[in-house]
Amino acid sequence: LNGLSEKSELDFDVYANETYDSVHISSFHLVEKVDVSFLLPVRNGSRYMKFCADSILSQKGNYTFELVIVDDGSSDESLAIARMLQCDYPGKIRLTQTVNSRHGVGAALNIGLAFCRSELIARVDVDDICSPDRLVKQFEYMRENPHVFAAGSSVFLVDETATKWTDCNPNKNKMIQVDTEAAIVEWSMYFSCS
């Protein structure tokens, strides 16, 4: 293991058992860490997946990043599209599936975290289209503010043709600080749109 750089680590191929109470290691190999891991849980998202992935993989800036896709038992073409995207973007997409399918977004995210090669995780849903400068803005903010544990952004609602955009955040371009007490953070995540 001599010669590992600061950005290298041993990466374990892991999979969770049906009850998600343990993780099994099937193999390991050397991989480079990345600056940011985009984590995308998917169930039946074939309609939007290519738009979402393209918006992530065309981010501006000089940062290393990856897209980790976790298929949670899709019955549509989501898995096939994800495999096609892996071919279109070699080395940028890591793909895994939940065991025995359909465990929900929480379980899919937990499985995906095991595959992320960065400490900074950018959470994204399959029907999201990321602004081309999302990574630049959020990564720079997190790097300049190491005491911050989460960053978000405003959103635009878009129609299915991606032609009509509606800004739904009245606090656009304002910094909003949330109390870090666990109960207040949890409440804010459920009931606040800021």
The region of weakest confidence among 85-89, 102-106, 169-173 is: 169-173
- Pairing between β-strand 93-97 and β-strand 121-123 as defined by DSSP bridges: unpaired
**According to the model, what pLDDT value does residue 163 have?**
64
Order of strands, edge to edge, in the sheet holding 36-42? 93-97, 65-71, 36-42, 121-123
Contact (CB, 8 A) for 18 and 100: yes
* Residue 62 binned pLDDT confidence (cut-offs 50, 70, 90): very high
**According to the model, what pLDDT value does residue 122 have?**
94
Q: Is 93 helix (H, G, I), strand (E, B) or coil?
A: strand
DSSP H/E element including 81: helix 78-88
* Residue 52 binned pLDDT confidence (cut-offs 50, 70, 90): very high
- The Cβ-side half-sphere exposure at 117, using a 13 Å CA radius, reads 26
